[in-house]
Each structure stands twice: as structure tokens, then as C-alpha cells.
Amino acid sequence: MFKEAKEIVEKSNKIYIVAHINPDGDAIGSTFAVYFALKKMNKDVHVVMPSYSTVFEFLPGVQTSINSIEDEEYDLLIALDSSDVTRLAISEDEYKRAKKVIMLDHHQISAPYGDFRYINDNKSSASEIAYLFIKYLGAKIDKDIATLLYTGIMTDTGSFNYSNANADTFRAVAELLECGAEAVSVCKKLNDTMKESKLKLIAKTVDNMEVYFDGKLRFSYVSYKEISELGINDEDSEGMTNYLRAVEGTEVAVYVRGKSDGSLKVSMRSGGRIDTSKIAIAFGGGGHPRASGYTMKEDIETEKEKLIRAVGEMI
Ligand SMILES: [Mn+2]
């Protein structure tokens, strides 16, 4: 299934790898795993990742990432975990300078781009696709690659708890463990450890929580002022929806956070019955049925009302 992609890789020397902005564990795991695989194939390869959360700094390769593409022209761009070309962490100009583009993604709603595309929403994560891709390329999965792929699969499946973790996913994970993936330390760093500022952000999120439709919708807005007062940056202000969604009886959880550029980012999580991606798309965003989001276009009060109404129609 990666035959054409493999041919493109073999013909390429100068390669850049990129994922979406605000990279999560899957974006980081998949990009750096492919990076190490291509290094083994003696490619001149770099990951472009201008910003990422400090919680991922321990992962192999992350510190080698670069901020932008300097070359006038380069052989290949590999884009992972990004269903939309505009969400890639590079500019349109940097994108256009690639002679070829390979796109590997697992999102349901996709605006395909690039010369070779592999999009499969039956795969748990971009990292699970990267695992198949690396094997197809014939690169050996070493301890670092295994740890990175494991991280991506673990984070995108909610530690193997979501329905996207299927038998194939577990078979892939079993092989990654055999290849030396440091599962215990990844879990400890990402699941069992948090900064004090994060705990305070959870408290703030709970404090600001509003409840609608007999508890079926939980909504919380934390302003940029509140976030910055806690000393938290944009990358670390995510991830509050899960706490709201975990409350008994909640069908939809919405967390809105102010960002340093003045924008308001909406994250939605569903308990399963309601497809939040339909709402996100209607508001100009996207995602999965259970996890989706968008950026608000108007002020918080106006948009909040519209959003609550939209959720209410589905409840
Ligand atoms: Mn992903």
C-alpha cells in the first residue's frame, strides 16, 4: 500500500517532516519515528516543529527539531497527522518548495493534499500508520522509534481505552514493546506527572464550569488572562475537556481557552452518542465524532450562545 510512497522516498535525499500546529503526542511520535527511520536510510532529514509542549521534551529527537525550511527547493515533504494543509506547522511558501509531498493521516474528515496520500480512519493514530510505513520502508524499529510510536498510539487512544484501539493496534503495540518501547517511563511522564500550574488550571476550569441540559453539557471558558496568570503557555493550556467529560451524565464537554494571539480555541469531547465533529464543521473546524474543535470567529458571549444552542439541538 506504500509502494509509490517508498519509490518517492528512495528517489529523495533532502526530506522534511511536518505535522499539525500545537503538536500532540501522536504528531510528535509519528514525525520523529519517521525521522529516525529515514536517518537510518541515510537521508538528509529534518523535522520542522516550531513549538511544542515541554511535556514532550524527554522524547528522543524532539530537541533536534527546526523552526522553518530554509532551502529554496527540497525533494520531499512528509506530512503526518494533519487532515488539512492549512494546519501544517509550515507556511504555504515552505510547502510549495517541496518537489513531492507524502500525506499520511487517520482523520475521518480530510481535505487530501500531496502527491501520495494514505488516509485511513480505521487506524488509531498517525503513529500506527507511521509504524506500517516504516516497516514497509524496511527500516529497523529500534528502541527510540518504538518509544515514539508507542507514545503516539498511547496518547491518541486515551491509553488504549478508546474504541479506535482495535486488535491491529494492540498487535502493533505488542511488536513495539518487543522492539524496546519504554512504555513505563512514557506513561509515568505523560499520564502520572503534571506541573502544579496544570493542577491550578484544572481548578480554574472546574471553577468556571457551566452546566446545561441537566448536566448533559458541561462548558468551561478560561480566558488568556487567567491562563497566563498561572504561567501556562498555549501548548500547555490544552487537555481540560477530558475532566469535564468524565463527570457522570455528561454527553458533551466543551472547553474554550484564550490563546496568546487573542484567539479563542474550542475543544469538544463527546461521550459517544453525539457526533461533535458535525458541530465543529458547522463552526468552521473539524475533528473526530468524539473529539473535535474550532476557533471562534466572534466574541465569547455570542459564540457561546450559538454553540450551546447547536449542542442542545443534538441532545
Ligand atoms: Mn492523531
Q: What is the pLDDT along the chain (315 residues), one digit of tens a residue?
A: 999 999 999 999 999 999 999 899 999 999 999 999 999 999 999 999 999 998 999 999 999 999 999 999 999 999 999 999 999 999 999 999 999 999 999 987 678 999 999 999 999 999 999 999 999 999 999 999 999 999 999 999 999 998 899 999 999 999 999 999 999 999 999 999 989 999 999 999 999 999 999 999 999 999 999 999 999 999 889 999 999 999 999 999 999 999 999 999 999 999 989 999 999 999 999 888 888 999 999 999 999 999 999 999 999
Task: Give the distance (Å) from ligand 1 centre to CA of residue 125.
Answer: 5
Cα Rg of the chain (Å, integer): 19
Look up the CATH number of domain 196-314.
Answer: 3.10.310.30
**Phi and psi of 293, rounded to 5°?**
-170, 170
CATH superfamily of 3-190: inorganic pyrophosphatase (n-terminal core) (3.90.1640.10)
Domain with CATH 3.90.1640.10 in the chain: 3-190
**CA 159 – ligand 1 centroid, Å:** 13
Residues of the chain with CATH 3.10.310.30: 196-314
CA 290 vs CA 110, 188, 274: distances in Å: 16, 25, 8
**3-state SS assignment for residue 308:** helix
Handedness of CA 239, 243, 249, 250 (dihedral sign): negative
**What's the DSSP call for residue 250?**
-
301 Cα to the center of ligand 1, angstroms: 31
CA of 31 to the centre of ligand 1 (A): 11
Nearest CA among 8, 34, 20 for reference residue 99: 8
Distance (angstroms) between ligand 1 centre and the Cα of 165 equals 12
Residue 212: what pLDDT?
A: 98
293 touches 283 (CB < 8 A)? no
Ligand 1 centroid vs 277 CA: distance in angstroms? 15
Q: What local confidence, expressed as pLDDT, does residue 265 receive?
A: 97
Q: How far is the CA of 162 from the centre of ligand 1 (A)?
A: 13
Closest to 75 in 3D by CA, of 2, 9, 7:
9
Ligand 1: centre distance to CA 239 (Å)? 14
* Cα 156 to middle of ligand 1, angstroms: 6
Give 9's contacts (C-beta < 8 A, 6+ positions apart): 15, 38, 41, 43, 76, 102, 137
Q: Rounded to 5 degrees, what angle do the CA atoms 70, 73, 78 make?
A: 85
- 81 CA → ligand 1 middle, Å: 5
Q: Please give the distance, rounded to the nearest whole angstrom, from the Cα atom of residue 238 to the centre of ligand 1.
A: 15
Using the mean position of ligand 1's atoms as its centre, give its distance from the Cα of residue 178 in Å: 23
